[in-house]
């Protein structure tokens, strides 16, 4: 009987460890490799391996790439999966769009648009954020689609 209780304890511990965002780092690393192999190269030097950064700890895992000068507008791609408290309402992916304006890096005439997709479960919140030049949406749509698809698959895997 004691060994059965120990086995149940190990299974619960393994399930808890797998459910930590820290374990999502490996999934985001796989998504990064997938993006590079599929031609995702949004930077001028095409060095996605260098600029697409994966990070994670016990509460959050992320994959992101930011482009922009010190004083100029910033655009980029970011996906995050974070532990969350119990949510009042579980939600599937939903999208929002808004203009980024009027902070240290963005002015109204930069025409930066923020596209956000978010999903909430009882244990996690996933978010995919793309900041893009509104004047160049058509030229960058293929890369945006690649990132959204890879990030969404990775986030879904992490939230299981």
Is the pLDDT at 6 greater than 60? The verdict is no
Per the domain annotation, does 109 fall within a domain?
yes
Per the domain annotation, does 132 fall within a domain?
yes
Instruction: Tell me the pLDDT of the chain averaged across its residues.
Output: 86
Domain range for residue 92? 21-158
Q: What whole-number distance in Å separates Cα of residue 34 and Cα of residue 31?
A: 5
Per the domain annotation, does 12 fall within a domain?
no
Per the domain annotation, does 16 fall within a domain?
no
Q: What whole-number distance in Å separates Cα of residue 90 and Cα of residue 67?
A: 33
Residues 105, 68: contact at Cβ < 8 Å?
Answer: yes
Per the domain annotation, does 76 fall within a domain?
yes
List, for residues 25-82, the tens digit of each pLDDT value: 999 999 999 999 999 999 999 999 999 999 999 999 999 999 987 777 889 999 999 9
């Amino acid at each position: 009987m004691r060994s059965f209780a120990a086995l149940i304890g190990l299974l619960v511990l393994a399930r808890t460890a797998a459910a930590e965002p820290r374990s999502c780092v490996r999934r985001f690393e796989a998504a990064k490799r997938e993006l590079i192999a599929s031609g995702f190269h949004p930077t001028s030097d095409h060095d996605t391996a260098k600029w697409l950064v994966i990070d994670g700890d016990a509460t959050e895992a992320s994959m992101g790439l930011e482009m922009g000068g010190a004083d100029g507008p910033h655009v980029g791609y970011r996906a995050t999966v974070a532990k969350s408290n119990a949510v009042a309402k579980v939600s599937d992916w939903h999208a929002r769009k808004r203009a980024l304006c009027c902070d240290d890096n963005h002015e109204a005439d930069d025409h930066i648009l923020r596209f956000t997709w978010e999903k909430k479960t009882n244990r996690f919140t996933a978010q995919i954020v793309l900041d893009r030049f509104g004047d160049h949406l058509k030229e960058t749509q293929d890369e945006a689609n690649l990132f959204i698809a890879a990030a969404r698959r990775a986030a879904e895997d992490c939230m299981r």
